[in-house]
Structure 1
Amino acid sequence: MTDTHLPERLAEVREEFLDLPQGERLELLLEYSSELPPVPEHLADRVDMYERVAECQSPVFINVEVTDGVVAMHATAPPEAPTTRGFASILVQGLTGLTADEVLAIPGDYPQTIGLTQAVSPLRIAGMTGMLVRAKRQVAQKR
């Protein structure tokens, strides 16, 4: 993977994980799970505005808004699914505030590069990949 199109926040997240010993990376992911921003009030009761991420075993729903070319990603993930919630949090924090073009340029293999492939199951990594694919598709449709 090249970092040519990797936004600064996502690059920092990756470095943060890769700088830790393998055994501590899951703990950091769990920290991210507690930092998933709440959905905005105008979307709180609008389940019709969210897309289910089928690759996730847990019920994860995302919504991406593009306003004046700037992306805001929102996600819901249950507290009892902390790894999935952590992945959602990383993407919400990493994509929100970027331009549509910056989001679309994020390499699709980003989830495989943050050093968690040994800490969590391939199914969970596929879930994060599914979130990123859907977010990018929504951005492309709404920009």
Structure 2
Amino acid sequence: MPEMPTKLAEIVDEFAAAPRDVVLEMLLEYSDVIPPLPEELAGREGMEQVPECQTAFFLRAEVNPDRTVTTWFDCPPEAPTTRAFAGILAEGLAGASAAEVLAVPDDLYQRMGLAQAISPLRVRGGTAILARLKRQVREQIS
């Protein structure tokens, strides 16, 4: 059984071990790591909206011929917490295989200790982002 990618596991452990008052600061650091969309996705063409998020959030996962997954996220800068979720996934899943992406636990954000630091609505949005990402991967490998 594959495990979640090592880089994502390291991020989860880092958050879980951090004092609560530092968690929000750490989150905000990830809000800036989302790479810009490639030109062909600039109009969000082919991206899926995540309506559970309080802000306009779009994503796309693509399984490459070598079975690695490429992810793209689009979220306005005015939504730093939601952007941080995307930043964590972008960094933690970079170079990951489809099997590793599917092995990411659904309660990822709870494991990180975020449920104690941010609102349940935001955690629900982050969980929905992960669920849609995994569904897109599953659809492409089945």
Could you tell me the TM-score, scaled by structure 2's length? 0.92
Match among 47, 56, 59 for residue 56 of structure 2: 59
Distance 2:27 2:89 in 1: 12
Q: Does 1:116 align with 2:114?
A: yes
Match among 12, 16, 28 for residue 30 of structure 1: 28
- Deviation, structure 1 residue 95: 2.0
Unaligned runs of 5+ in 1: none
Distance 1:102 1:12 in 2: 14
Cα deviation 1:36-84 (Å, max 9, x = unaligned) = 1111223223x23110111100100001111111100110111011001
**Stretch of structure 1 that moved more, 15-24 or 74-83:** 15-24
Contact 1:5–1:107 (8 Å) recurs in 2: no
Distance 2:84 2:90 in 1: 10
Aligned to 1:9: 7
- Is the partner of 2:114 in helix, strand or coil? coil
Counterparts of 1:1-143 in structure 2, within 5 Å, are 5-45=3-43, 47-68=44-65, 69-143=67-141
Root mean square deviation of aligned Cα: 1.3
Unaligned runs of 5+ in 2: none
Deviating above 3 A after TM superposition, structure 1's stretches of 4 or more consecutive aligned residues are: none
- Is the partner of 2:59 in helix, strand or coil? strand
* Count of equivalent residues: 139
Distance 2:132 2:91 in 1: 16
